[in-house]
Amino acid sequence: SQQGEEDPQALSIQEGENATMNCSYKTSINNLQWYRQNSGRGLVHLILIRSNEREKHSGRLRVTLDTSKKSSSLLITASRAADTASYFCATTTFSGSARQLTFGSGTQLTVLP
Amino acid sequence: DTGVSQDPRHKITKRGQNVTFRCDPISEHNRLYWYRQTLGQGPEFLTYFQNEAQLEKSRLLSDRFSAERPKGSFSTLEIQRTEQGDSAMYLCASTGDTRFYEQYFGPGTRLTVT
């Protein structure tokens, strides 16, 4: 089952604009990650934020985490056409010894040139 | 290329046939995961290996599914008596003992059951 839900499901913006997508999750977490998936391809890890962190930056990416609301947001600044992809949040849950990722349903971002 | 590789990239099969997929993780990674992703959804966990031991299996992994990692390196996922509902992207990911939360994904095998 999906742990998280991304919002919006789809987002279309112009190149140069900022893109914000949100993720909500249900259970307590150790960390939350964001992954990108280009059409029909595998996922690429973008950024990880731990449960005791509130904000993290990596290049044009800014992630926030609000554990009281069980939500996270991913901001991509100065978007480029190459940022067009699906973005997933993923929480780490423990099943026995497995640190399995539980993904949300994703936000499809389209950046128009 | 030293990333995770999967073979084949695409597989079309008729209902009732058996299929087998292969995953080659990053060489120094001892942890390997299989996920299934259907259209418009995020990946869902199927199973986990640490070295050659299969330590966790999801309830999604029915009796028709079997996974192996015989020498702790590459892994195979076999689906017997395929059904149309098995049509999905099957993703493999690996990680090591450091930064183990960050999983490295392969390009996936897209299975279409007709």
Judge contact between A101 and B43, C-beta under 8 A: yes
Q: Which two tokens stand for residue A109?
A: 């971002």
Distance CA(B58)–CA(B64), nearest Å, equals 13
Give how far A98 is from chain B: nearest CA, Å.
6
Residue A3: per-residue pLDDT: 58
| Angstroms from A43 CA to nearest CA on chain B | 6
Q: Does B96 touch chain A (CB under 8 A)?
A: no
Does residue A62 register a pLDDT over 60? yes
Q: What is chain A's mean pLDDT, rounded?
A: 90
Q: What is the pLDDT of residue A1?
A: 42
The reply to whether residue A42 touches residue B103, judged by beta carbons under 8 angstroms, is no
Structure-model confidence comparison of residues B1 and A46, the more confident one? A46
B70 burial level (CB within 10 Å; 0-12, 13-18, 19+)? exposed
CA distances from B84 to A30, B9, B112 (A): 36, 18, 8
From chain B, pick out residues whose CB is under 8 angstroms from the CB of A49: none
Residue A97 has pLDDT above 80, yes or no: no
Is A23 an interface residue toward B (CB < 8 Å)? Answer: no
- Å from A22 to nearest chain B CA? 15
The mean pLDDT value for A59-86 works out to 96
b/e sequence A8-26, b meaning 16+ C-beta within 10 Å: eeebebeeeeebbbbbbbe
CA A73 to chain B, closest CA, distance in angstroms equals 17
Residues of B in contact with A42 (CB under 8 A): 4, 91, 105-108
Report the C-alpha gap between A67 and A55 in whole angstroms. Answer: 12
CB burial of residue A64 (10 Å; 0-12, 13-18, 19+): middle
**How many Å apart are CA A15 and CA B104, to the nearest integer?**
28
Residue A45 touches chain B, beta carbons under 8 Å: yes
**Residue A92, pLDDT score:** 82
Kind of pairing between the strands at B109-113 and B10-13: parallel
Give every residue of chain B whose pLDDT is below 50, as ranges. Answer: none
| Cα–Cα distance for residue pair A8/A21, rounded to 1 Å | 6
Across residues A88-95, what is the average pLDDT? 81
Q: Would you state the pLDDT for residue A4?
A: 67
pLDDT band at residue A111, thresholds of 50, 70 and 90?
A: very high
What size, in residues, is chain B?
Answer: 114
B56 touches chain A (CB under 8 A): yes
**For residue range A1-19, what is the model confidence (pLDDT) as tens digits?**
445 678 899 999 999 999 9
- Residue B31: which of B47, B45, B51, B46 has the closest Cα? B51
DSSP secondary structure, chain A, as one string:
----EEE-SEEEEETTS-EEEEEE-SS--SEEEEEEE-TTS-EEEEEEEETT-SEEEETTEEEEEETTTTEEEEEE-S--GGG-EEEEEEEEEEETTEEEEEE---EEEEEE-
